[in-house]
């Protein structure tokens, strides 16, 4: 059945919305509207491709693209955006390629679909790495066309509306991502109507009991609240009209549930102690009338000191404008009142999409150029996301950067600089320019010298003093709050120790792959491709990052093997050159577990005396090899690639593998030694040990070496279940602000 035939023979499973029916009828009647034609062709194409597919709810899958396209239409999206709404899932869920999308619907539609399509072709070592790479791609696509994220937000909103059909664990994962990433994104773009609903829906699944309680309490007091608000609005309307102020809208509304919950949490109050759960909105015609209306409000009700904000004179970064004031309302209850113009209201509701919905009126002059000041946050995301190679650190920094709790400070020339709450003069310096931060000597705040860790306040005038002989201090990592500043400081120290990091990275790679042919490998095309897939420009940068701990050895080796496999068949790889021989020799297939696997952690040594080699201390999940020792210690178990195995004759090697559990079914733990380079301050070891304790990691031994003016060297011996847990722990510690570097260390084997 074609999409057009749905109009003649409506399906019992699918009901088309009126706007889409009208669109199809217009096309069928032979209209020459190119926009209508594009939308109808996109729907028809998506309908045919998704035919026979169903959602978890049991409804036809096409219902989801229709809903997404409808949300985009409500935002005033153009035909390209709406068409992308219909087609946003076809590349992921069907055999259609992006090239076919471009051929049928044009370059713009293809770019939007590509921007919201998740990665599926590459192998990732973890879900976090895949999630991080998807977000990187999405933000890069946003920089080219901001409509990408609007399509993605509409997609996420409809998915959240139908989340009840998924399993609880998936509901929680999607809801958490929505609250931490997509709701703040909607806020950054100023799309208020999406933000509120995304937050409430995430709240429903993450704190379901609190959600139901607040929902019931708000409904319970509805009658009393509406009666009180009606009296307030009647009083204000009468006074405003007497002064000749034309009011387009004046009404009260309850605040959204998650906002009430946050207020209760922040103020540590019960629901009955929260009075301002409703607000009154006044919409007038001009900016001047906004301030006149404010005078009327303050004359009618007593304003509460410290609760007035002028977002008209100083708009938010997402271009939100309004006057906010809180007054003592009827019965002595606090009441929030917002005053804005029609245009301000459109921007508050639709944000960056306001110029689509209201472009015909000419009332909005929003530009999509990423050079616009309101896109500063997006440009910063693009700048520092390339510096953060660790997936978890990238996700954490992304969350921190998206949450909007800003302060507004000024340069000596009067330019407004928007920074995160708690930002310091150092954050300000790096916000101006990297070199300003790198050569910062001191700062004056409001004309007086200031300590560098002083949190800036709204209205501060900040002047940065620089010197070509000055450079960043590691202590700054203890108090800077912006990802840009933190990353630039680390970058400076990485560059200043580049040779040391290169040597360390080379050493790690030699231990894993062997020394033979390593120089040729580093210059090879597979290694260059591997570096690019790890988000580095060349193999040398990748090697330095490996030495610094920005990327793990397993990530490099696994990506390298994937590249080699993609380029040539396995049988050719083994004979083509020493490079390929090197790769395949370090990835020997693991032997299958034996029937006696539960009798020993190591399969292949059942009934034999064995021990784990102290030189490399292998972990479950790592490729291992057994070596028959010349002493009475039996078989020594090494990591494949261990330098002590390089010259062992083949007849002494024993293929072995890990068994997952011991005799009693309990996971075993294995010793691992790590070295942490951290800022030398009181309590740094305690903080690191606390992170280990949170994950139930036993610390067998700990030691600290300090030298004046140098970072502290912390040596820890810990007990780990397997390689996956070890890499997770490394990332947890690495993400601490005080930690400069962390690496696994080995001892010299005495056998």
What confidence tens digit (pLDDT) does each residue in 207-261 have? 888 888 888 888 877 787 888 888 999 999 999 999 999 899 998 887 788 888 8
Residue 43 has pLDDT above 90, yes or no: yes
Q: Coil, helix or strand for 496?
A: helix
Position 394 scores a pLDDT of: 59
Same domain, 13 and 133: yes
In the structure, what pLDDT confidence band is assigned to residue 585 with cuts at 50, 70 and 90? very low
Q: Which two tokens stand for residue 395?
A: 């996700």
Radius of gyration in angstroms for the set of CA atoms belonging to the chain, rounded to a whole number: 31
Q: Is residue 285 part of a domain?
A: yes
Return the CATH number at 683: 3.30.70.260
Position 340 scores a pLDDT of: 95
Q: Do 202 and 161 form a contact (C-beta atoms < 8 A)?
A: no
**Are residue 457 and residue 560 in the same domain, yes or no?**
no
627 domain residue, yes or no:
yes
- Same domain, yes or no: 480 and 504: no
Determine the distance from the C-alpha atom of residue 277 to the mean position of all C-alpha atoms in its chain, rounded to a whole number.
31
Find, among 146, 141, 81, 144, the residue nearest to 117 by Cα: 141
Token pair for 51: 């035919």
Q: Which helix (H) or strand (E) holds 335?
A: strand 334-341
Residue 592 domain flag: no
Residue 363 lies in a domain: no
Interatomic CA distance for residues 434 and 429, integer angstroms: 8
560 contact partners, CB below 8 Å, separation of at least 6: 526, 527, 530, 583
Rounded CA-CA distance 551/546 in Å is 5
Q: 250-273: per-residue pLDDT in tens?
A: 988 877 888 888 777 766 777 766
Whether 553 and 415 share a structural domain: no
Whether 203 is covered by a domain: the verdict is no
Q: Which domain holds residue 408?
A: 373-496
Do residues 298 and 382 both lie within one domain?
no
| 284 and 229 in a common domain | yes
What long-range pairs does 171-179 form, CB within 8 A, spacing at least 24?
171/205, 172/205, 172/206, 175/201, 175/202, 175/204, 175/205, 175/206, 176/202, 176/206, 177/131, 178/202, 179/203, 179/206
The residues pairing with 410 across neighbouring beta strands, listed in sequence order, are 416, 461
**What confidence category does residue 586 fall into, taking pLDDT thresholds of 50, 70 and 90?**
very low
Same domain for 117 and 17? yes
Distance CA 334, CA 269 (A): 15
In a domain, 259, yes or no: yes
Q: Is the pLDDT of residue 320 over 70?
A: yes
Domain assignment present for residue 187? The answer is no
- H-state helical runs in 243-303: 257-267, 287-300
Contact yes or no for 443/425 (Cβ under 8 A): yes
How many domains does one find in the chain?
Answer: 6
Q: Is the pLDDT of residue 664 over 70?
A: no
Lowest-confidence segment of 129-143, 586-600, 727-741 by average pLDDT:
586-600
Instruction: Supply the mean pLDDT for the chain.
Output: 78
Helix (H) or strand (E) segment spanning residue 676: strand 670-678
Domain's final residue, options 324, 357, 390: 357
Active site residues: 92-93
Whether residue 727 is found in the same domain as residue 622: no
CA–CA gap between residue 697 and residue 625 (Å, rounded): 26
Q: What is the CATH number of the domain that holds 322?
A: 3.30.460.10
Q: Which residues pair with 252 in a beta bridge?
A: 280
Query: Average pLDDT, stretch 553-581?
Result: 60
Beta pairing class for 334-341 and 278-284? parallel
Q: Helix, strand or coil for residue 499?
A: helix
72 closest CA partner among 3, 144, 149, 16: 149
Q: Which tens digits make up the pLDDT trace of 127-146? A: 566 666 666 666 666 667 77
* Same-domain check for residues 286 and 268: yes
Record the tokens describing residue 701, joined without a space.
């031994």
User: Do residues 261 and 206 touch, judged by C-beta distance below 8 A?
Assistant: no
Most confident of 96-110, 486-500, 553-567: 96-110
SS3 613: coil
User: End of a domain among 528, 556, 585?
Assistant: 585
Residues 222 and 271 both lie in one domain = yes
Q: What is the mean pLDDT of residues 606-634?
A: 78
119 is a domain residue: yes
Q: Which residue has the tokens 């009666």?
A: 227
88-116 average pLDDT score: 88
Same domain, 488 and 521: no
Which tens digit of pLDDT belongs to each residue from 506-530?
888 887 777 666 777 788 888 888 8
Q: Are residues 352 and 446 in the same domain?
A: no
């Amino acid at each position: 059945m074609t999409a057009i035939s749905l109009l003649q023979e409506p399906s019992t499973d699918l009901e088309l919305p009126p706007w889409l029916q009208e669109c199809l009828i217009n096309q069928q009647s032979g209209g020459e509207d190119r926009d209508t034609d594009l939308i109808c062709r996109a729907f028809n194409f998506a309908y045919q491709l998704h035919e026979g597919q169903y959602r978890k709810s049991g409804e036809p899958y096409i219902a989801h693209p229709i809903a997404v396209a409808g949300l985009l239409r409500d935002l005033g999206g153009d035909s390209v955006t709406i068409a992308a709404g219909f087609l946003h899932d076809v590349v992921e869920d069907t055999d259609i390629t992006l090239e076919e999308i471009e051929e049928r619907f044009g370059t713009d539609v293809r770019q939007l679909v590509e921007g919201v399509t998740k990665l599926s072709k590459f192998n990732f070592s973890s879900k976090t790495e895949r999630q991080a790479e998807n977000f990187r791609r999405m933000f890069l696509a946003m920089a080219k066309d901001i409509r990408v994220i609007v399509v993605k937000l509409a997609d996420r909103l409809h998915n959240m509306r139908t989340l009840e059909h998924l399993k609880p664990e998936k509901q929680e994962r999607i809801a958490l991502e929505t609250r931490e990433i997509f709701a703040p994104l909607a806020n950054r773009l100023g799309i208020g109507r999406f933000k509120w609903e995304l937050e409430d829906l995430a709240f429903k699944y993450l704190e379901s009991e609190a959600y139901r309680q607040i929902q019931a309490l708000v409904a319970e007091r509805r009658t009393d609240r509406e009666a009180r608000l009606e009296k307030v609005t009647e009083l204000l309307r009468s006074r405003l009209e007497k002064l000749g102020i034309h009011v387009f809208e004046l009404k009260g509304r309850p605040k959204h549930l998650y906002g009430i919950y946050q207020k209760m949490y922040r103020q540590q109050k019960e629901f009955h102690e929260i009075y301002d759960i409703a607000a009154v909105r006044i919409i007038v015609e001009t900016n001047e009338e906004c301030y006149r209306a404010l005078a009327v409000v303050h004359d009618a009700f007593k304003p509460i000191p410290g609760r007035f904000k002028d977002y008209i004179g100083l708009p938010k970064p997402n271009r939100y404008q309004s006057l906010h004031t809180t007054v003592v309302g009827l019965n002595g209850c606090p009441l929030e009142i917002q005053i804005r113009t029609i245009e301000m209201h459109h921007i508050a509701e639709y944000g960056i999409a306001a110029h689509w919905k209201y472009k015909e009126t000419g009332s909005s002059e929003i530009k999509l150029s990423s050079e616009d000041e309101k896109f500063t946050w997006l440009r910063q995301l693009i700048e520092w996301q390339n510096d953060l190679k660790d997936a978890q650190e990238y996700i954490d920094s992304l969350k921190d950067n998206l949450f909007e709790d800003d302060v507004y400070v000024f340069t000596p020339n009067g330019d407004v600089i928007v920074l995160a709450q708690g930002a310091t003069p150092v954050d300000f310096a790096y916000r101006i320019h990297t070199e300003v931060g790198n050569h910062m000597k001191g700062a004056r705040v409001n004309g007086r010298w200031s300590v560098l860790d002083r949190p800036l306040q709204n209205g501060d005038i900040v002047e940065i003093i620089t010197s070509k002989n000055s450079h960043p201090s590691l202590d700054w990592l203890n108090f800077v709050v912006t990802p840009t500043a933190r990353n630039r400081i680390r970058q400076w120290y990485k560059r200043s120790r580049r040779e040391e990091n290169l040597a360390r990275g080379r050493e790690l790679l030699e231990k894993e792959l062997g020394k033979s042919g390593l120089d040729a490998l580093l210059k090879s095309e597979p290694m260059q491709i591997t570096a690019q897939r790890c988000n580095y420009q060349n193999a040398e940068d990748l090697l330095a990052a490996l030495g610094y701990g920005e990327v793990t050895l397993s990530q490099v080796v696994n990506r390298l093997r994937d590249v080699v496999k993609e380029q040539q068949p396995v049988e050719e790889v083994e004979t083509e050159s020493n490079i390929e021989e090197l790769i395949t020799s370090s990835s020997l297939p693991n032997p299958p577990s034996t029937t006696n696997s539960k009798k020993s952690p190591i399969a292949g040594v059942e009934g034999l005396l064995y021990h784990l080699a102290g030189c490399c201390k292998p972990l479950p999940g790592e490729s291992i090899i057994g070596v028959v020792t010349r002493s009475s210690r039996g078989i020594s178990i090494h990591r494949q690639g261990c330098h002590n195995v390089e010259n062992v004759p083949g007849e002494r090697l024993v293929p072995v593998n890990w068994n997952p559990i011991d005799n009693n079914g309990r996971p075993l733990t294995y010793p691992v030694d790590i070295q942490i380079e951290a800022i030398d301050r009181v309590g740094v070891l305690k903080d690191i040990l606390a992170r280990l304790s949170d994950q139930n990691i036993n610390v067998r031994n700990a030691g600290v070496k300090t030298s004046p003016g140098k970072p502290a060297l912390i040596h820890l011996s810990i007990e780990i279940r397997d390689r996956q847990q070890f890499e997770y722990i490394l990332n947890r510690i690495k993400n601490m602000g005080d930690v400069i570097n962390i690496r696994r260390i080995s001892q010299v084997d005495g056998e």
